[in-house]
């Protein structure tokens, strides 16, 4: 029978029965000029160069890097009729460079292509498209290219949106919206769109969000969106499977985000200064709200905001979480940052027979053969991450754990 449930976090002391190996997570640093990453162990390298204005990034089901190239020399507010390109780099840092676009998208005004998402089997490529700046327009669309690279279907897959930007396919765990396209509308709503019929539902109603420009899913099946400029409510917003909205952290002038696929940490591009231009990548723990500066970029040539169309810049993690790809629009390139994004450590659980009940092992015997299980949720809910029995010394080691909070139970 279950005899105890214990909650704990890696790096925090735990009393009675548990000896915790020291472990600390978190990265914080400052830097100047081009992207600089501290602590040592991280590196920044050019991934793809010769791209006019790389913007949003995504990873296709086949592992290739998809780049939205917002090819423009227009100033903010001026019409621009140069085409947008959706480029594919396969492998992600192809030394030949994806100079031949996967898809060319003609437009007659700003802002053009926003986000890109794929069907789960990779046979369809969806992308958002809108025209014009400001006003209550309903000319935003979702277009589909099937197979990816062929001319989009006519009429558009979904029309009548306002200014759709970020786009993602909902995870299988995302409740009633599983498998639907989730769209961040620059005018506020978050829509779930059926990939077969195009039927759309505002999943955040009656909440009113502001200028949402990007979105991504976390490993624990929450949706995070970012945007809002300087208005009240600007920052990172969490949306759960029921459509319930909560503000994680205020963050003015945040334009793009991605979520680490293992740790669940958020990485967000923000503009911290207009004159002189400067941008940062912020790292956010969505559980505690702790925010640190992961990277800085000073000057117009780094992490360019690309504000035509309400936001810009792009970043995305590789599926294994080892590499962060970031658009550097002013340098016409995408860079990759590699290093210890996933920091792991052990937890050693210890069981002994507390004969006098004082919670301290006073020459009392260790207990071997006790079954122990570790859970990522509170109160030992869901499936166990690891299980096993205590050894002759009364110890059970849970290895290779990322920083976070866990719960554990044991049975005799």
* CATH classification at residue 253: 2.120.10.30
Q: Which residue has the higher pLDDT, 271 or 97?
A: 271
pLDDT value, residue 34: 54
Q: What does the alpha-carbon distance between residue 165 and residue 111 come to, in Å, rounded to a whole number? A: 10
Q: Are residues 320 and 397 in the same domain?
A: no
Pick from 80-94, 113-127, 167-181: least confident: 80-94
Q: Which residue has the higher pLDDT, 61 or 248?
A: 61
Candidates 333, 347, 331; CA nearest to 385 is: 347
pLDDT value, residue 97: 65
pLDDT value, residue 125: 96
Task: Encode pLDDT of 193-225 as tens digits.
Answer: 999 999 999 988 777 677 788 999 998 889 999
Q: What does the alpha-carbon distance between residue 5 and residue 7 come to, in Å, rounded to a whole number? A: 7
Q: What does the alpha-carbon distance between residue 224 and residue 235 come to, in Å, rounded to a whole number? A: 10
CB of 136 closer than 8 Å to CB of 151: no
- Distance of CA 288 to CAs 257, 338, 403, Å? 18, 25, 12
Q: Are residues 115 and 92 in the same domain?
A: yes
Question: Which value, in Å, is the radius of gyration of the alpha carbons in the chain?
Answer: 24
This prediction has a pTM of: 0.76
CB of 348 closer than 8 Å to CB of 396: yes
Candidates 36, 13, 124, 105; CA nearest to 328 is: 36
Q: Give whichever of 2-11, 21-30, 37-46, 355-364 has the largest mean pLDDT.
A: 355-364
pLDDT value, residue 400: 74
Q: Which residue has the higher pLDDT, 35 or 347?
A: 347
DSSP state, residue 300: T
- Distance of CA 304 to CAs 49, 341, 349, 373, Å? 15, 24, 48, 47
Task: Encode pLDDT of 291-331 as tens digits.
Answer: 998 988 764 433 333 332 233 578 999 999 999 999 887 77
Domain membership of residue 399 as a residue range: 2-24+346-411
User: Helix or strand or coil: residue 193?
Assistant: strand
Q: Are residues 318 and 352 in the same domain?
A: no
Q: Are residues 82 and 212 in the same domain?
A: yes
- 160 is a domain residue: yes
Q: Is the pLDDT of residue 52 over 50?
A: yes
Task: Encode pLDDT of 332-372 as tens digits.
Answer: 888 899 998 987 777 778 888 889 988 888 888 888 898 98
CB of 239 closer than 8 Å to CB of 204: yes
pLDDT value, residue 111: 64
Q: Are residues 246 and 303 in the same domain?
A: yes
Q: Is the pLDDT of residue 180 over 90?
A: yes
Q: How many domains does the chain have?
A: 2
Q: Which residue has the higher pLDDT, 5 or 168?
A: 168
pLDDT band at 411 (very low <50, low <70, confident <90, very high): low
CB of 216 closer than 8 Å to CB of 167: no
Q: What does the alpha-carbon distance between residue 303 and residue 326 come to, in Å, rounded to a whole number? A: 8
Q: What does the alpha-carbon distance between residue 83 and residue 106 come to, in Å, rounded to a whole number? A: 5
For residues 104-115, average pLDDT:
76
For residues 1-29, average pLDDT:
32
How many Cα atoms occupy the beta-carbon half-sphere of 176 within 13 Å? 8
Given 338, 364, 386, which residue is the final one in a domain?
338
Query: Residue 135: left if φ>0, alpha if ψ -120 to 50, beta else—which one?
Result: left
For residues 88-92, average pLDDT:
90
DSSP state, residue 378: G
Given 338, 360, 383, which residue is the final one in a domain?
338
Question: Which tokens go with 64?
Answer: 């290739």
């Amino acid at each position: 029978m279950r005899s105890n449930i214990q909650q704990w976090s890696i790096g925090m002391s735990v009393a009675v029965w548990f000896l915790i190996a020291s472990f600390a997570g978190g990265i914080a640093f400052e830097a100047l000029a081009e992207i600089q990453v501290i602590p040592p162990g991280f590196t920044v390298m050019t991934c793809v160069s010769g791209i006019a204005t790389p913007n949003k990034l995504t990873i296709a089901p086949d592992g290739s890097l998809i780049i939205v190239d917002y090819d423009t020399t227009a100033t903010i507010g001026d019409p621009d009729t140069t085409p947008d390109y959706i480029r594919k780099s396969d492998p992600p840092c192809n030394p030949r460079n994806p100079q031949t676009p996967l898809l060319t998208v003609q437009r007659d005004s700003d802002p053009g292509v926003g986000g890109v998402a794929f069907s789960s089997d990779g046979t369809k490529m969806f992308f958002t498209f809108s025209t014009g700046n400001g006003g209550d327009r309903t000319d935003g669309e979702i277009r589909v290219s099937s197979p990816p690279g062929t001319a989009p279907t006519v009429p558009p897959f979904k029309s009548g949106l306002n200014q759709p930007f970020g786009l993602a396919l909902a995870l299988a765990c995302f409740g009633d919206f599983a498998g639907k396209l989730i769209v961040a509308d620059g005018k506020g709503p978050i829509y779930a769109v059926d990939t077969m019929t195009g039927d759309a539902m505002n999943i955040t109603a009656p909440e009113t969000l502001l200028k949402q420009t990007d979105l991504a899913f976390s490993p624990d099946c929450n949706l995070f969106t970012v945007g809002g400029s300087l208005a009240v409510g600007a920052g990172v917003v969490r949306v759960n499977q029921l459509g319930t909205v909560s503000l994680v952290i205020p963050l003015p002038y945040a334009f793009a985000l991605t979520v680490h696929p293992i740790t669940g940490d958020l990485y967000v591009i923000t503009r911290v200064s207009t004159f002189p231009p400067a941008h940062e990548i912020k790292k956010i723990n969505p559980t505690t709200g702790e925010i640190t500066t992961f990277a800085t970029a000073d000057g117009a040539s780094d992490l360019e905001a690309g504000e035509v169309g309400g936001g810009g810049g792009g970043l995305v993690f590789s599926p294994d979480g080892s590499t962060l790809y970031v658009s550097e629009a002013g340098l016409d390139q995408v860079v990759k940052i590699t290093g210890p994004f996933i920091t792991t450590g052990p937890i050693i659980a210890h069981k002994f027979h507390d004969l006098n009940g004082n919670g301290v092992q006073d020459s009392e015997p260790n207990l071997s053969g006790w079954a122990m299980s570790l859970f990522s949720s509170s109160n030992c809910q869901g499936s166990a991450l690891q299980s096993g029995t205590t050894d002759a010394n009364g110890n059970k080691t849970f290895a290779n754990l990322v920083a976070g909070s866990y719960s554990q139970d044991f049975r005799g």
